[in-house]
Amino acid sequence: MSKQEIRICGLGGQGVIMAGMIIGKAASIFEDRFATLVQSFGPEARGSECSAQVMVSSEPIAFPYIRHSDVFIVMSQGAYEKFIGELKEGAILVYENELVSLDDRVPKETKSYGIPGTRIAEEDLGRRIVFNMVMIGFFTAVTGLIDVEAMREAVRHSVPPGTETFNLKAFDAGYDRGAKQAIPQSTSS
């Protein structure tokens, strides 16, 4: 596997940084690859745009900052507006399709996969707080970049004790939805 540059972005409070930590942990600890995480968020923390830059590689990583995303996970419209310009042509775009509206800035040949992650977390699972778990489950299914069992172990080892079962249920809800999406949604031409 070559190096994969993954940007996860959204609003503070959506679990963006935790999602990045879990992806990095799955790759580095449970798949024995190299991973880095760089996080950024506004001084307000909750409600401001934030992002996690995760790099995963089979080789050591010398420079941990993303220049152009291979995978772009978007959880809010503001984050989409801020970071869409770094998405490379042919990348994978995973987004919350009830919060994010795509436009003609999406590069050609991008594979786009949308999920109503917030609604699944709130209505199907009863707790919005697991929105990020739904999104990383969906990411795992549609990208195939990290083994599902490695991701499940990373979730299990990253969430507060006593919440493992519920967080894994949310992860599985996203994963199951992604596994059913055989064809990516249309993107800009």
Eight-state DSSP code of residue 111: E
Write down the pLDDT at residue 42: 61
Q: Is 110 strand, coil or helix? A: coil
The neighbour count for residue 50, using CB atoms within 10 Å, is 26
Q: Does 34 or 185 have the greater pLDDT score? A: 34
Q: Report the pLDDT value the prediction gives residue 46, as an integer from 0 to 100.
A: 60
Alpha helices in the chain (DSSP H): 16-28, 77-83, 117-119, 131-143, 148-158, 164-179
What mean pLDDT, rounded, does the chain reach?
91
> Rounded to whole angstroms, how far apart are CA atoms 181 and 92?
13
Alpha carbon 3 to its chain centroid, in Å, reads: 16
pLDDT in tens, 110-136: 999 999 999 999 999 999 999 999 999
CATH superfamily of 4-179: Pyruvate-ferredoxin oxidoreductase, PFOR, domain III (3.40.920.10)
* Gap between the Cα atoms of 121 and 73, Å rounded: 17
pTM of the model: 0.91
C-alpha of 10 from chain center: 10
Q: What pLDDT band is residue 186 in, cutting at 50, 70 and 90?
A: very low
Q: Kindly tell me if the per-residue pLDDT of 187 is higher than 70.
A: no
CB proximity list for 180: less than 8 A, separation 6 or greater: none
What torsion, rounded to 10 degrees, do the Cα atoms 80, 172, 13, 92 define? -20
DSSP SS3 for 57: strand
